[in-house]
Homo-oligomer: A and B are copies of this chain.
Amino acid sequence: MIIILKPDADKEQTALLKGKLKALGFELHESRGINSFLWGIVGDTSIIDPDYLMANDIVKDVKRIQEPYKTANRKMHPEDTVIDIAGKKIGGGHFQVIAGPCSIETEEQIVKVAQDVEASGAGLLRGGAFKPRTSPYSFQGLQNDGLKLLLEAKAATKLPVVTEIMTPEHLELFNNVDVVQVGARNMQNFQLLKALGKCNKTVLLKRGLANTLEELVMSAEYIMAGGNESVILCERGIRTFETSMRNTLDISAIPMLRSMTHLPIVVDPSHAAGIRWMVEPLALAAIAAGADGLMIEVHNDPAAALCDGPQSMTPEGFDKLMVKIRDTVKFFGKTMD
């Protein structure tokens, strides 16, 4: 960490700050130029909040050199993490497709979609029981009844299941769920992240609509700091000024996250654009950019879907797409086994 002091920094305050830093166990390297006066801080600076330093009137700027994340940092764990979800591997060359409806609606719907996506080659089943909706008047999901239907679909197919959690209080309901999803709007729901850090389930952590990649990794760090290192990151589109699509898929997030962390990276092309016919080009681009998996919405009757119909594919459309996905994954040197 580098601290840039103001050229006219008060000597007494400077000595005071120096004392505080030394008391915290840091070493200081001074460098004095004509217009600048710097300190290089040596030690584990991930524990210092730059704001703590910036609050001093004598400090002009603070620059981190070390990343603020540790367990998630690729430097601490140079190889890709491979996560095994009931026999389905993801990361380190293993590619998985997670498919299913936005919302679980009926037993018939979820079981039928599960069987269809399994037949097409999906590795995991997704389906929402607790639904975060912008409006209190929109369908909020079947809640606990939805979870039960999802587990029936799991039993009927042997696909591990992914479903979203909205609050720590619900965690006990997720016992038989394989992957717990944290939605974009909860990426910085820190109480939820802490609770997930104490459980032994894989967590699929979605990037918030306006969160930086560093913030995403810091949220993974919250879960990992609690002891649960089984975290999958998911890019699902960010909020920009562009209005022709719901969100803007940040494809660069894949290689950038790859360099920052060893965790598997999944892309959700359905939510990214919010448009059915854009799922294919975005899915293929994600594979080309190095993603470890895809999360795709499939509904047996999109026009009747209670949620996210515009972006849901039919089972037939998904089946055709899976042929291309499989070929593309192979072309780019990953395996879907």
CA distance A40 to B185 in the complex (A): 33
* A256 CB within 8 Å of chain B: yes
Whose C-beta in chain B lies nearest to the C-beta of A214?
A: B244
What's the number of copies of this chain in the assembled complex?
Answer: 4
Q: Which of A104-112, A150-158, A164-172 contacts B (4 or more CB under 8 A)?
A: A164-172
Question: Closest B-chain residue to A238, C-beta based?
Answer: B240
Tell me the nearest residue of chain B to A29, going by C-beta.
B31
User: Is A289 at the interface (CB under 8 A from chain B)?
Assistant: yes
> What would 14 more interface pairs be, CB under 8 Å, given A57-B303, A185-B188, A256-B278?
A4-B65, A29-B32, A29-B33, A33-B41, A54-B309, A136-B194, A168-B169, A210-B210, A212-B243, A242-B250, A251-B282, A281-B288, A285-B286, A285-B288
Interface residues, chain A, with chain B CB atoms under 8 Å away = 2, 4, 13, 17, 27, 29-36, 38, 40-42, 46-47, 49, 51-52, 54-57, 60-61, 63, 65-66, 68, 132-139, 166-170, 185-186, 188-192, 194, 208-210, 212-215, 218, 221-222, 225-226, 238-245, 248-252, 254-256, 259, 272-273, 277-278, 281-282, 284-290, 302-310, 312, 328, 331-332
